[in-house]
Amino acid sequence: MKYRIFISSVQSEFASERKNLKRYLLSDPLLGEYVESVFIFEDHPAAKKRPGEIYLPKLADTDIYIGLFGAQYGNRVPEGEMSPTEREYDAATAHGLTKWIYVFDDETPVDPRMARLRKKAAGDHTYRHVKDRSMINQEVYASFISFLRERNELTREPFESVVVPDALLEDDIDHERVRWFVD
């Protein structure tokens, strides 16, 4: 199976990490076999739409949400208004997406609204603290491998010995091909 991935963060805070992570996911020899597409908003062309009209529907057509949570909450987001990053996180939650959250800890003071979003995410599931931004590819790689193993899509056993728990004899075996093989 190939997965559609959505990368979410404050764009200005993680501009290079977002582009590098997208490139990595699509070009890694192993992960590339499992990635259909990677959405980052900055790749979308100019359009006669509000940003939320572009990124929120995209989440409905996504399998994996990757959140990069740093210190900033969002540029020019007035007090009381929700940032695009938090709106994306909430939409990913509403759609029941697999979410991988990476919290970046450095010496930068964290916006109180981002601290609240981090706390919200921590209440939903586990996340990873990342000290060095250059490690994000390795962190995502580890999450992806774990994800694939949980789904029995990546195993160490030979293909023939892997049990597929949902397989049904009548529905999943092509009887014509079995006859052809036996002949």
- The answer to whether 5 and 11 are in contact (CB under 8 A) is no
CA distances from 42 to 45, 73, 133 (A): 8, 17, 20
pLDDT digit string (tens) for 127-178?
888 988 999 999 999 999 999 999 989 876 655 656 667 777 777 788 888 8
pLDDT digit string (tens) for 26-49?
999 999 999 999 998 876 756 666
Q: What are the helix (H) ranges across the chain?
A: 15-27, 51-60, 84-94, 112-124, 136-150, 169-172, 175-182
Total-model pTM: 0.80
Question: 34: burial class by Cβ within 10 Å (0-12, 13-18, 19+)?
Answer: buried
Indicate whether 51 pLDDT > 60. no
pLDDT for position 52: 61
Cα–Cα dist 183/178, whole Å: 9
Higher pLDDT, 83 or 157: 83
Indicate whether 116 pLDDT > 90. yes
Cα–Cα dist 7/64, whole Å: 9
* Residue at 114: amino acid letter: M
pLDDT digit string (tens) for 10-26?
988 999 999 999 999 99
The gap from C-alpha 95 to its chain's centroid, in whole angstroms, comes to: 13
Percent of the chain with pLDDT over 90: 53
| SS3 state of residue 27 | helix
Cα–Cα dist 64/34, whole Å: 12
